[in-house]
Structure 1
Amino acid sequence: MKVSKKVAGVEYAIRDIVTAARQVEKQGKKITYLNIGDPVQYGFQPPTNVKDAMIKSIREGNNYYAQSEGLPELREAISLKEKSKGLSVSADDILVTNGVSEALDMVMSSIVEEGDEVLLPGPYYPPYASYVRLHGGKPVEFAVDLKNSTPDIDDIKSKITPKTVAICLISPNNPTGAVFSEKSLKELVDIANQHDLYIICDEIYDQIVFDEKFTGIGKVSGDSPIILLNGFSKVHLMSGWRIGYIAFNNSPKLVPIRENLPKLARVRISTNLPVQYAALESLRGSQGYVSEFVSELKKRRDFVVKRLNSIPGLSCSNPKGAFYAFPKIETNPYKTDQEFVMELLRETGVLTVHGSGFGTQYGSGYFRIVFLPDLNTLDFALNEIERFCQ
C-alpha cells in the first residue's frame, strides 16, 4: 500500500535512538538516559499549586472542549508575559497549542509550499527540519559560533534565495545552549525585514539562562513579522501535559497568516482545557521555584562541561542556557558521530544523541548530553564516557 513520500523526511534523532537503547537493555545492560530534555523525568516537578489547579479544574467540571484559540484568561496572562519581554501583543495575538511541536507544525504548514526554503540555526532542534520537509520545503542550515553564541550574519545573507520564506531562531538553543544577544537579534530582524521573511523565534527556555540576562526577540521586534513560539514544558516543568502557544507580533505583514492559521486550530478542535488552567496558575502563582531549578542546573552545567573538557579527545563550549552540552568529538576512531554514539551505548549503556541528528552540516562530529540528572548519575555517566574515549 502507498505511503506518502513526505513522511520519509521526518526524523527525530532524540527519540529514534531510544529504539537502539531498548535493544541493548534487552541484553541485560542498564541504560543511563542522557538523551531527552524532559526535566520531569529527572525528578523535577511542577509546583504543588499548579498540580492542584489541574485537579481542581477537572473536579469543577472543566472537561469540555475549550475555545479553539485557547482559554481567554490564559491568553491574557501569556500576552502579559510576552509584553514584559518586549513583544507587542494582546490576548487576541495568542493562540494556545498542544505543545510547541503543534505550534511549529501549524506555522510551517501555513507558510511553506513545495520548494520553499527555511533557514535554521546549525545545529537545530530536529522537528524544525522535519516539519519543513513534511510540508514540501527545504531546511537550510546557517552557521552559529558556539563559543560566542553568535549567528554568522554573512553566512545567513549568502544563503537567502528567492525561495527563502523564513528565518528560524531558537534562543536559548537546543542542542547547543547558545543564547543570542540583543545585537545579534537586531541584525537578524533587520535581515528578515530587508528580504520580507518571517522570523520564527522559539523561546521555550527563556528563563533557563546561567551567565547573562536573557533578551527576548520582542525587545528588538518593532513592527516586524515575528512569530514567537513558547510553552510550559521546560521552565514550568509541565512537559507531559503538552501545552504551548503562538504569539503574533503586532505587524501589518502578519495579517494574512493571523487570519488563516487559526483555521488549523479550529480543525484540530482545541487544546486540553484542564491543562490550560494549570498553565494559568503557573503564570500567576509564585515563580520562586524557577530560580531554584536554574541554580541546580547551573551546578550540573558547570560540572559536566569541566569534566567533558578534561577528557582527551573531547572538547565542549560552555552552554549559556537550556540544559544541554554539545561536546565535539576531536578524536573519533569511528566513521561517524552516530557510530560513536551507538558504540558508546553498546559498551557503557550511556545513551546520548549523535550531533548529526541536529543537522549534518554543523552537527556532524558532535554529540548531545542532557545535564538534568543528579550529580551522582552525571558523574557515573562521565566516568563511563571517559573510559570509553580512553
Structure 2
Amino acid sequence: MKISKKVAGVEYAIRDIVSAAREIELQGTTVDYLNIGDPVQSGFQPPQNVKQAMIDAINNGNNFYTRSEGLTELTEAIAKKENAKGLSIPSENILVTNGVSEGLDMVISSIVEEGDEVLLPGPYYPPYASYVRLHGGIPIEFSVDLNSSSPDIDDIKSKITSKTVAICLISPNNPTGLVFNENALRQIVDVANEHNLYIICDEIYDQIVFDEKFTGIGKVAGDSPVIILNGFSKVHLMSGWRIGYIAFNNSPQLDNIRENLPKLARVRISTNLPVQYAALESLTGPQDYIPKFVSELKVHRDFVIKRLNEMNGISCSNPKGAFYAFPKIEQNKFNSDKEFVLELLKQKGVLTVHGSGFGEQYGSGHFRIVYLPKMEILESAMNKIEDFVR
C-alpha cells in the first residue's frame, strides 16, 4: 500500500547510520559510538535534586494532563531565563513541548506550505530539512565560514526568493560547534526584517560555550519576528525525558502564529507533567553542575581537535560550543564521505556520521564526531582514526 511522498523524504543520518554499527557488532566487533550527542549516555546525569523533583511530582499525584501550553510555574521560569538573555516577554509567550523536535515541527508546520523555501545554515542539523520537506517546503542551504563562525550574508541575500518564508539559525551549531557573535546575529536579523521573514533560532546549547561569552539572538531581536527554540536535553542533561519549549518574541508580526500554533499543542493534549516539575527544578535549583560539565567538555574538545589536526589528510576548525567536531577529509581515497565513515566503522569499529547527512552542499567531504565519551574512549578512537587515515 502507498505511503506519503513527504514521509519518504525524511532522513536522520545520526540515527540511520546506527544500523550499520549493529551489523558490525553482530560480527563480534566492539564499536566506539561517537555519533549521538546524548550527554546522559556518556555518563553525565541530571543532578539529584532534579531527579528527586520528578520522583516527588509522581508521588504527589502530578500525573495528569496539564495546560497544553505548559505548567504555569515552568513557563514563568523559562521566560525569566530568556529575558536574562535579551528578550522582554511575558510567560504567555512560552509554549512547552516534548523536546525541541516537537517545537520545530509545530513551528515549521505553522509557516510552511507547498513550495515554500526555508534557509538553513550549511551544514545543518538534519531534522530541520526533514521537517521542511515533510510539510511540503524546500530547504535551502546558505554558506557559513567554519573558521570565523561567520554567516555569508551576501549568500543569504542571493538565496532569498519570493517563496522564502524563514531563516533558521542554530547557535551553538550542530554539527560544527560554531557560535554566531552579536554582529552576525544582528546582520541576519536585519536581512530577515528587510524581506519580512521569520527568524527561527535554536539555542539548545546556549550554556555550552568554551572560549567566549554566548550572545543570544534575544539581545538583537528588538521587535523582529524571532522565534527561539530551546530545551533541557543538553545543558540540563535531561535528554531521555524529552522536554523543550518555544519562545515567541514580542513582535506584532508574530501575532498570527502566537494565536494559532497553540492549537497544535491542544491537539496533542500536553507535555509530560512530572518532567515539567523536573525542568522547573533544573532552572531554579543549584546550577553549579553546569560549569563543571562544560569544563570537562573543554578538555575533551581540546584533546580531540589537537589529535585531528595532527593527522595527515584531516583538518578541523575549532568548535566554540556544543560537543561536536566536524573534521574535513582532505585526502579521501573513497568515493564519498559516507563511504569513508562506513569503512572507518568496518575496519576500526569507530562510528561517526557522514558530513553529507548534514546537507550535501556544505556537509559533503566532512564527518562529525561527538566528543562526549570518556577520555579513554576518545583516545582509543583517535588512535584508530589516525591509523585508518594513515
Q: Deviations over 1:333-371 (max 9, x none)?
A: 001000000000000110000000000000000000000
Indicate the residue corresponding to 1:49 in structure 2.
Answer: 49
1:113 aligns with 2:113: yes
Indicate the residue corresponding to 1:288 in structure 2.
Answer: 288
Corresponding letter in the other structure for 1:143: S
Query: Alignment partner of 1:21: what SS?
Result: helix
- Alpha-carbon separation, structure 2, partners of 1:34 and 1:242: 21
Query: Alignment partner of 2:40: what SS?
Result: helix
Corresponding letter in the other structure for 2:261: L
Q: Deviations over 1:267-307 (max 9, x none)?
A: 00100000000000000001000000000000000000000
Corresponding letter in the other structure for 1:66: T
Matches within 5 A, 1:188-207: 188-207=188-207
Matches within 5 A, 1:274-353: 274-353=274-353
- Alpha-carbon separation, structure 1, partners of 2:351 and 2:334: 17
Indicate the residue corresponding to 1:76 in structure 2.
Answer: 76
Query: Alignment partner of 2:294: what SS?
Result: helix
Corresponding letter in the other structure for 1:81: K
Query: Alignment partner of 2:229: what SS?
Result: strand
1:366 aligns with 2:366: yes
- Alpha-carbon separation, structure 2, partners of 1:87 and 1:16: 37
Q: Deviations over 1:105-125 (max 9, x none)?
A: 000000000000000000000
- Alpha-carbon separation, structure 2, partners of 1:16 and 1:88: 40
**What is the Cα deviation at residue 87 of structure 1?**
1.1
Query: Alignment partner of 1:39: what SS?
Result: coil
1:168 aligns with 2:162: no
C-alpha RMSD of matched pairs (Å): 0.4
Corresponding letter in the other structure for 1:373: P
**What is the Cα deviation at residue 192 of structure 1?**
0.4
- Alpha-carbon separation, structure 2, partners of 1:95 and 1:340: 41
Indicate the residue corresponding to 1:90 in structure 2.
Answer: 90
- Alpha-carbon separation, structure 2, partners of 1:90 and 1:229: 16
- Alpha-carbon separation, structure 2, partners of 1:194 and 1:385: 46
1:258 aligns with 2:287: no
Indicate the residue corresponding to 1:14 in structure 2.
Answer: 14
Query: Alignment partner of 2:41: what SS?
Result: helix
Matches within 5 A, 1:105-254: 105-254=105-254
Q: List 4+ stretches of structure 1 deviating above 4 A.
A: none
Q: Structure 1: which 5+ runs fail to align?
A: none
Corresponding letter in the other structure for 2:119: L
Q: Structure 2: which 5+ runs fail to align?
A: none
Question: Percent of counterpart pairs with the same letter?
Answer: 76
**What is the Cα deviation at residue 88 of structure 1?**
2.1
- TM-score, normalised with respect to structure 2: 1.00
Q: Deviations over 1:242-263 (max 9, x none)?
A: 0000000000000000110000
Query: Alignment partner of 1:208: what SS?
Result: coil
- Alpha-carbon separation, structure 2, partners of 1:388 and 1:196: 49
Query: Alignment partner of 1:142: what SS?
Result: strand
Query: Alignment partner of 2:169: what SS?
Result: strand
